[in-house]
Amino acid sequence: MPAVLEFQDILKDYRALFRRRTVRALDHFTLQVEEGEIFGFLGPNGAGKTTAIHLAMGFVRPTRGRGMMFGKRFGHAATRRRVGFLAENVALYHRPAETLVRFYGALNGLTGETLTRRTREALDAVNLLHESNRNVGKFSRGMLQRIGLAQAIVHDPDLLILDEPTSALDPLARYAVREMLLDWRRRGKTIFLSSHLLSEVELVCDRIAVLNQGRVVRLGRPTDLLESKEHFEIIASGVSAANIPGAETSTDGRVLVHATAAEQRGVLEKIWSLGGEVVSVSPHKRSLEDLFLELTGAPGSSTQAGSGEAVR
């Protein structure tokens, strides 16, 4: 599949005008987002997620390296007609919702009947059609996020870049946005999604990149990333848990053993030698939260890195 979005070995340093200290936001950052996928972009605060998004949108310039969007260098204005962008902290002009969405649609070249129809459709998609005459300045944070989404989709873009699109939404609205994203993928659109809501990313994303200190530290499909090749879960029957070190009895009376790859063979032989039967051996599946904590260096994590593409 062709890459819709491509970051090529990008360095981004921030330096204030009269200060010497520089902060490296992105450090040899390389990433490709393919057409038609929902790409999840994870990382702790300050990891460089928003900087990467701002680079893609042409708001900031790389210190070194380059990036392409639909085959054009980042910052190419005409290419942005194919892109819908929602910023992390939605900041929009204070005016009636419909007027506002029309304004942003018109900036992307929509006119006349098309503009009117697309504006209504965008407002309807985020469930704000009934508030179309209300001033955005009086909106709650959740509504602001939805109107932000409406201005991002009004021109029917091929690529949606969303920075924390659901952080202020209630569960119902979050569910609606999730369904909308899945619908967009079905229509062949590409979505680049930065989020702290790990469960949501796990549910909708085809691929995930975990960013830490400006570098991609893990990249892959959620299933591949979350399945461990070093930790296994062995379920056996016909033996007592007391005879196998570290084993526990599950609710259905079977014995459950967690073993590392090195221990796996020994545990299986022990079960067989005791006359037991191995029901299943499966890779241990971690939660995305476990993986996130482990990769971003958060304390209290005991699990080890799984598969997926480790990028160092």
| Interacting residues with another protein (CB under 8 A) | 14, 16-18, 50, 54, 57-61, 77-78, 80-81, 83, 85, 87, 89, 91-93, 95, 103-104, 106-109, 148, 151
As a whole number of angstroms, the distance between CA 220 and CA 210 comes to: 9
Residue 78 or 172 with smaller CB distance to another protein: 78
Residue 89 or 240 with smaller CB distance to another protein: 89
Residue 89 or 260 with smaller CB distance to another protein: 89
Listed residue (116, 185, 173) closest to 149, CA to CA: 173
Strand-pairing partners, residue 42, are: 210
- Minimum distance between the CB of residue 45 and another protein, rounded to whole angstroms? 16
- Minimum distance between the CB of residue 291 and another protein, rounded to whole angstroms? 29
- Minimum distance between the CB of residue 87 and another protein, rounded to whole angstroms? 5
As a whole number of angstroms, the distance between CA 186 and CA 179 comes to: 11
Instruction: State the CB neighbour count (10 A cutoff) for residue 132.
Output: 19
| Burial of residue 77 (number of CB atoms within 10 Å: 0-12, 13-18, 19+) | exposed
Residue 52 or 181 with smaller CB distance to another protein: 52
262: which residues sit within 8 A by CB, 6+ positions away?
Answer: none
Q: Are strands 309-310 and 3-15 parallel, antiparallel or unpaired?
A: unpaired
- Minimum distance between the CB of residue 226 and another protein, rounded to whole angstroms? 33
Three-state DSSP at 125 gives helix
Residue 53 or 247 with smaller CB distance to another protein: 53
- Minimum distance between the CB of residue 26 and another protein, rounded to whole angstroms? 13
Residue 14 or 272 with smaller CB distance to another protein: 14
- Minimum distance between the CB of residue 280 and another protein, rounded to whole angstroms? 50
As a whole number of angstroms, the distance between CA 230 and CA 244 comes to: 20
As a whole number of angstroms, the distance between CA 110 and CA 122 comes to: 13
